[in-house]
Structure 1
Protein backbone atom coordinates (compact mmCIF):
# COMPACT_ATOMS: atom_id res chain seq x y z
CA UNK A 1 0.00 0.00 0.00
CA UNK A 2 1.29 3.46 -0.86
CA UNK A 3 1.47 6.34 1.59
CA UNK A 4 2.64 9.91 1.18
CA UNK A 5 4.20 12.07 3.88
CA UNK A 6 4.19 15.80 3.26
CA UNK A 7 6.09 18.01 5.65
CA UNK A 8 4.20 21.18 6.48
CA UNK A 9 6.79 23.87 5.83
CA UNK A 10 5.19 26.81 7.62
CA UNK A 11 4.18 25.11 10.86
CA UNK A 12 5.85 25.65 14.21
CA UNK A 13 7.59 22.46 15.21
CA UNK A 14 7.36 19.24 13.23
CA UNK A 15 4.00 18.59 11.59
CA UNK A 16 3.32 16.04 8.91
CA UNK A 17 0.21 14.61 7.37
CA UNK A 18 0.30 11.07 6.02
CA UNK A 19 -2.01 10.33 3.14
CA UNK A 20 -3.01 7.26 1.18
CA UNK A 21 -2.73 6.96 -2.61
CA UNK A 22 -6.15 8.65 -3.01
CA UNK A 23 -5.01 11.73 -1.08
CA UNK A 24 -7.02 10.95 2.06
CA UNK A 25 -5.43 11.82 5.40
CA UNK A 26 -4.85 8.58 7.32
CA UNK A 27 -2.40 9.75 10.01
CA UNK A 28 -1.12 13.04 11.47
CA UNK A 29 2.28 13.53 13.08
CA UNK A 30 3.06 16.25 15.60
CA UNK A 31 6.31 17.06 17.33
CA UNK A 32 6.99 18.88 20.57
CA UNK A 33 8.28 22.38 19.90
CA UNK A 34 10.25 23.12 23.07
CA UNK A 35 11.60 19.73 24.07
CA UNK A 36 15.11 18.43 24.53
CA UNK A 37 15.52 15.82 21.83
CA UNK A 38 12.93 14.97 19.22
CA UNK A 39 9.58 13.67 20.45
CA UNK A 40 6.87 12.89 17.91
CA UNK A 41 3.41 11.38 18.07
CA UNK A 42 1.41 9.75 15.29
CA UNK A 43 -2.37 10.05 15.49
CA UNK A 44 -5.04 8.24 13.48
CA UNK A 45 -7.90 10.13 11.78
CA UNK A 46 -9.91 9.99 15.03
CA UNK A 47 -7.02 11.76 16.83
CA UNK A 48 -6.03 8.66 18.84
CA UNK A 49 -2.32 8.44 19.59
CA UNK A 50 -0.99 5.21 18.08
CA UNK A 51 2.78 5.82 17.93
CA UNK A 52 5.21 7.72 20.15
CA UNK A 53 8.77 8.36 18.92
CA UNK A 54 11.45 9.54 21.35
CA UNK A 55 15.06 10.48 20.64
CA UNK A 56 17.58 8.99 23.06
CA UNK A 57 19.93 11.69 24.31
CA UNK A 58 23.69 11.63 24.83
CA UNK A 59 24.35 9.01 22.15
CA UNK A 60 27.32 9.17 19.77
CA UNK A 61 25.08 8.24 16.84
CA UNK A 62 21.37 9.07 16.51
CA UNK A 63 19.08 6.64 18.34
CA UNK A 64 15.29 6.61 18.77
CA UNK A 65 12.74 4.46 20.59
CA UNK A 66 9.37 3.71 19.00
CA UNK A 67 6.29 2.85 21.07
CA UNK A 68 3.09 1.41 19.55
CA UNK A 69 -0.11 1.99 21.53
CA UNK A 70 1.97 2.82 24.62
CA UNK A 71 4.16 -0.31 24.41
CA UNK A 72 7.86 -0.39 23.50
CA UNK A 73 8.25 -1.69 19.94
CA UNK A 74 11.75 -0.86 18.70
CA UNK A 75 15.04 0.99 18.92
CA UNK A 76 16.24 2.60 15.69
CA UNK A 77 19.95 3.38 15.59
CA UNK A 78 22.08 4.88 12.84
CA UNK A 79 25.07 2.64 12.24
CA UNK A 80 28.55 3.94 11.45
CA UNK A 81 30.03 2.33 8.35
CA UNK A 82 32.66 3.62 5.93
CA UNK A 83 31.05 2.32 2.76
CA UNK A 84 27.31 2.65 3.28
CA UNK A 85 24.63 4.29 5.35
CA UNK A 86 22.27 2.12 7.31
CA UNK A 87 20.01 2.03 10.33
CA UNK A 88 19.70 -0.99 12.58
CA UNK A 89 16.33 -1.70 14.20
CA UNK A 90 16.18 -3.76 17.38
CA UNK A 91 12.49 -4.69 17.40
CA UNK A 92 10.09 -7.11 19.01
CA UNK A 93 8.33 -7.24 15.61
CA UNK A 94 11.20 -8.81 13.62
CA UNK A 95 14.73 -8.03 12.41
CA UNK A 96 14.63 -4.84 10.35
CA UNK A 97 17.31 -2.82 8.55
CA UNK A 98 17.11 0.43 6.61
CA UNK A 99 19.63 0.88 3.79
CA UNK A 100 20.00 3.00 0.71
CA UNK A 101 21.04 6.38 -0.61
CA UNK A 102 19.90 8.65 2.19
CA UNK A 103 21.24 11.81 0.53
CA UNK A 104 18.95 11.11 -2.44
CA UNK A 105 16.19 10.05 -0.02
CA UNK A 106 15.88 6.69 -1.75
CA UNK A 107 16.03 3.74 0.63
CA UNK A 108 14.43 0.43 1.52
CA UNK A 109 13.36 -1.26 4.73
CA UNK A 110 14.02 -4.98 5.00
CA UNK A 111 12.71 -7.52 7.47
CA UNK A 112 14.58 -10.80 7.81
CA UNK A 113 16.44 -9.93 4.55
CA UNK A 114 13.23 -9.34 2.51
CA UNK A 115 12.19 -5.86 1.36
CA UNK A 116 8.99 -4.78 3.14
CA UNK A 117 8.97 -1.09 2.17
CA UNK A 118 10.48 1.18 -0.46
CA UNK A 119 10.87 4.92 0.18
CA UNK A 120 11.41 7.58 -2.47
CA UNK A 121 11.54 11.34 -2.04
CA UNK A 122 9.51 13.41 -4.47
CA UNK A 123 11.16 16.72 -5.33
CA UNK A 124 8.39 18.07 -7.57
CA UNK A 125 5.86 19.14 -4.96
CA UNK A 126 6.02 22.21 -2.74
CA UNK A 127 7.71 20.91 0.38
CA UNK A 128 9.31 17.56 0.98
CA UNK A 129 7.16 14.57 0.07
CA UNK A 130 8.00 10.91 0.63
CA UNK A 131 6.31 8.09 -1.25
CA UNK A 132 6.33 4.95 0.88
CA UNK A 133 5.25 1.63 -0.61
CA UNK A 134 4.64 -0.86 2.24
CA UNK A 135 3.86 -4.58 1.99
CA UNK A 136 0.31 -5.21 3.16
CA UNK A 137 1.40 -7.76 5.81
CA UNK A 138 3.34 -5.09 7.72
CA UNK A 139 2.15 -2.75 10.48
CA UNK A 140 1.80 0.49 8.49
CA UNK A 141 2.16 2.81 11.49
CA UNK A 142 5.36 1.05 12.60
CA UNK A 143 6.97 1.27 9.14
CA UNK A 144 5.92 4.92 8.80
CA UNK A 145 7.46 5.64 12.22
CA UNK A 146 10.80 4.26 10.99
CA UNK A 147 10.62 6.49 7.89
CA UNK A 148 9.93 9.51 10.10
CA UNK A 149 12.96 8.66 12.27
CA UNK A 150 15.20 8.56 9.18
CA UNK A 151 13.79 11.92 8.06
CA UNK A 152 14.44 13.43 11.52
CA UNK A 153 18.05 12.19 11.51
CA UNK A 154 18.63 13.58 7.99
CA UNK A 155 17.00 16.90 8.94
CA UNK A 156 19.05 17.17 12.16
CA UNK A 157 22.29 16.35 10.27
CA UNK A 158 21.51 19.00 7.66
CA UNK A 159 20.67 21.55 10.38
CA UNK A 160 23.87 20.77 12.32
CA UNK A 161 26.06 20.98 9.21
CA UNK A 162 24.57 24.33 8.15
CA UNK A 163 24.35 25.96 11.56
Structure 2
Protein backbone atom coordinates (compact mmCIF):
# COMPACT_ATOMS: atom_id res chain seq x y z
CA UNK A 1 0.00 0.00 0.00
CA UNK A 2 1.29 3.43 -0.93
CA UNK A 3 0.81 6.46 1.29
CA UNK A 4 1.17 10.11 0.22
CA UNK A 5 3.20 12.24 2.64
CA UNK A 6 3.74 15.99 2.16
CA UNK A 7 7.27 17.27 2.69
CA UNK A 8 6.66 20.63 4.31
CA UNK A 9 4.09 19.56 6.86
CA UNK A 10 6.39 18.54 9.64
CA UNK A 11 6.78 21.58 11.84
CA UNK A 12 5.62 22.66 15.26
CA UNK A 13 1.84 22.88 15.32
CA UNK A 14 1.36 21.48 11.80
CA UNK A 15 -1.49 19.03 11.22
CA UNK A 16 -1.94 17.09 7.99
CA UNK A 17 -3.71 14.04 6.61
CA UNK A 18 -1.66 11.28 4.98
CA UNK A 19 -3.67 9.67 2.20
CA UNK A 20 -3.48 6.18 0.76
CA UNK A 21 -3.09 5.53 -2.96
CA UNK A 22 -6.88 5.72 -3.37
CA UNK A 23 -7.07 9.22 -1.88
CA UNK A 24 -8.58 8.11 1.46
CA UNK A 25 -7.45 9.95 4.59
CA UNK A 26 -5.58 7.24 6.48
CA UNK A 27 -3.38 8.90 9.10
CA UNK A 28 -3.45 12.33 10.72
CA UNK A 29 -0.11 13.93 11.54
CA UNK A 30 -0.52 16.13 14.61
CA UNK A 31 2.47 18.43 15.18
CA UNK A 32 2.70 19.41 18.84
CA UNK A 33 3.50 23.08 19.41
CA UNK A 34 5.09 24.49 22.54
CA UNK A 35 7.07 21.38 23.42
CA UNK A 36 10.71 21.39 24.52
CA UNK A 37 11.56 18.88 21.83
CA UNK A 38 10.16 18.31 18.38
CA UNK A 39 7.10 16.05 18.67
CA UNK A 40 4.58 14.63 16.18
CA UNK A 41 1.76 12.16 16.68
CA UNK A 42 0.49 9.86 13.94
CA UNK A 43 -3.22 9.18 14.52
CA UNK A 44 -5.83 7.00 12.87
CA UNK A 45 -8.99 8.63 11.40
CA UNK A 46 -10.79 8.18 14.75
CA UNK A 47 -8.10 10.24 16.52
CA UNK A 48 -6.37 7.36 18.30
CA UNK A 49 -2.58 7.90 18.60
CA UNK A 50 -0.75 5.12 16.75
CA UNK A 51 2.83 6.35 17.19
CA UNK A 52 4.58 9.39 18.61
CA UNK A 53 7.78 10.75 17.04
CA UNK A 54 10.18 12.75 19.22
CA UNK A 55 13.64 14.19 18.84
CA UNK A 56 15.83 12.40 21.36
CA UNK A 57 17.19 14.68 24.06
CA UNK A 58 20.70 14.42 25.52
CA UNK A 59 22.15 12.21 22.82
CA UNK A 60 25.76 12.29 21.63
CA UNK A 61 24.58 11.68 18.08
CA UNK A 62 21.44 13.18 16.62
CA UNK A 63 18.61 10.67 17.05
CA UNK A 64 14.85 10.40 17.03
CA UNK A 65 12.57 8.05 18.93
CA UNK A 66 9.29 6.44 17.98
CA UNK A 67 6.93 5.55 20.81
CA UNK A 68 3.76 3.49 20.95
CA UNK A 69 1.45 3.58 23.98
CA UNK A 70 3.95 5.83 25.82
CA UNK A 71 6.73 3.24 25.50
CA UNK A 72 9.75 3.46 23.24
CA UNK A 73 9.32 1.36 20.10
CA UNK A 74 12.42 2.38 18.12
CA UNK A 75 15.44 4.70 18.04
CA UNK A 76 16.76 6.00 14.72
CA UNK A 77 20.23 7.37 14.12
CA UNK A 78 22.81 7.63 11.40
CA UNK A 79 24.84 4.46 11.07
CA UNK A 80 28.40 4.82 12.27
CA UNK A 81 31.35 3.80 10.13
CA UNK A 82 29.24 3.48 7.02
CA UNK A 83 30.80 3.95 3.62
CA UNK A 84 27.42 5.23 2.49
CA UNK A 85 26.61 8.71 3.76
CA UNK A 86 22.88 8.09 3.64
CA UNK A 87 22.68 5.01 5.81
CA UNK A 88 20.60 4.90 9.00
CA UNK A 89 19.86 2.24 11.58
CA UNK A 90 16.50 1.69 13.25
CA UNK A 91 16.89 -0.14 16.56
CA UNK A 92 13.63 -1.67 17.76
CA UNK A 93 13.22 -2.36 21.48
CA UNK A 94 13.10 -6.12 20.86
CA UNK A 95 16.66 -5.97 19.45
CA UNK A 96 15.62 -6.08 15.79
CA UNK A 97 17.54 -3.72 13.51
CA UNK A 98 16.22 -2.22 10.29
CA UNK A 99 18.54 -0.69 7.69
CA UNK A 100 17.62 2.47 5.81
CA UNK A 101 19.70 3.46 2.80
CA UNK A 102 19.48 5.40 -0.41
CA UNK A 103 19.21 9.03 -1.43
CA UNK A 104 17.41 10.34 1.64
CA UNK A 105 17.30 14.02 0.67
CA UNK A 106 16.02 13.05 -2.81
CA UNK A 107 13.30 10.91 -1.17
CA UNK A 108 14.53 7.75 -2.88
CA UNK A 109 15.41 5.14 -0.24
CA UNK A 110 14.34 1.83 1.27
CA UNK A 111 13.78 0.23 4.65
CA UNK A 112 15.00 -3.36 4.95
CA UNK A 113 15.19 -6.08 7.53
CA UNK A 114 17.89 -8.70 7.04
CA UNK A 115 18.10 -7.89 3.32
CA UNK A 116 14.32 -8.08 2.78
CA UNK A 117 12.51 -4.97 1.55
CA UNK A 118 9.82 -3.70 3.94
CA UNK A 119 9.14 -0.27 2.45
CA UNK A 120 10.32 1.89 -0.42
CA UNK A 121 10.14 5.68 -0.28
CA UNK A 122 9.96 7.61 -3.55
CA UNK A 123 8.85 10.87 -5.10
CA UNK A 124 8.30 9.20 -8.49
CA UNK A 125 4.88 7.70 -7.77
CA UNK A 126 3.05 10.98 -7.23
CA UNK A 127 3.08 14.10 -9.37
CA UNK A 128 2.32 16.36 -6.41
CA UNK A 129 5.02 18.89 -5.61
CA UNK A 130 6.68 18.59 -2.19
CA UNK A 131 5.32 15.09 -1.62
CA UNK A 132 6.64 11.55 -1.54
CA UNK A 133 5.17 8.09 -1.21
CA UNK A 134 5.86 5.46 1.40
CA UNK A 135 5.17 2.13 -0.28
CA UNK A 136 4.78 -0.53 2.41
CA UNK A 137 5.73 -3.62 0.43
CA UNK A 138 5.00 -6.39 2.92
CA UNK A 139 1.41 -6.87 4.03
CA UNK A 140 2.53 -7.79 7.56
CA UNK A 141 4.72 -4.68 7.92
CA UNK A 142 3.62 -2.03 10.41
CA UNK A 143 2.52 0.87 8.14
CA UNK A 144 2.53 3.58 10.87
CA UNK A 145 6.03 2.48 11.89
CA UNK A 146 7.28 2.58 8.27
CA UNK A 147 5.85 6.10 7.80
CA UNK A 148 7.38 7.22 11.10
CA UNK A 149 10.78 5.77 10.10
CA UNK A 150 10.65 7.66 6.78
CA UNK A 151 9.77 10.94 8.52
CA UNK A 152 12.54 10.51 11.12
CA UNK A 153 15.24 9.61 8.62
CA UNK A 154 14.37 12.60 6.44
CA UNK A 155 14.42 14.96 9.45
CA UNK A 156 17.79 13.60 10.59
CA UNK A 157 19.29 13.88 7.09
CA UNK A 158 18.01 17.45 6.74
CA UNK A 159 19.54 18.42 10.08
CA UNK A 160 22.80 16.74 9.12
CA UNK A 161 22.93 18.78 5.91
CA UNK A 162 21.77 22.02 7.55
CA UNK A 163 18.38 22.06 5.79
CA UNK A 164 16.30 22.22 8.96
User: TM (normalized to structure 1)?
Assistant: 0.84
Structure 1 residue 88 corresponds to structure 2 residue 94: no
Please, which of 145, 150, 159 is the counterpart of residue 147 of structure 1? 150
1:104 is matched with 106
Q: Distance in 2 between matches of 1:61 and 1:104?
A: 23
How many angstroms does 1:130 deviate by? 1.3
Give the 5 Å matches for 1:58-69.
58-69=58-69
Please tell me whether the aligned partners of residues 68 and 142 of structure 1 are also in contact (alpha carbons under 8 angstroms): no
Q: Which runs of 5+ in 2 are unaligned?
A: none
RMSD value over aligned CA atoms?
Answer: 2.5
How many angstroms does 1:8 deviate by? 5.5
1:77-113 CA-to-partner distances (Å, cap 9, x unmatched) read 1224463121111112732111111132210000122
Please tell me whether the aligned partners of residues 12 and 32 of structure 2 are also in contact (alpha carbons under 8 angstroms): no
Give the total of aligned pairs.
Answer: 160
1:37 is matched with 37
Q: Distance in 2 between matches of 1:68 and 1:162?
A: 28
Please tell me whether the aligned partners of residues 77 and 156 of structure 2 are also in contact (alpha carbons under 8 angstroms): no
Counterparts in 2 of 1:12 and 1:55: CA distance versus 1, 3 Å: closer
Please tell me whether the aligned partners of residues 40 and 54 of structure 2 are also in contact (alpha carbons under 8 angstroms): yes
Q: Distance in 1 between matches of 2:88 and 2:69?
A: 23
SS of equivalent residue, structure 2 residue 123: strand
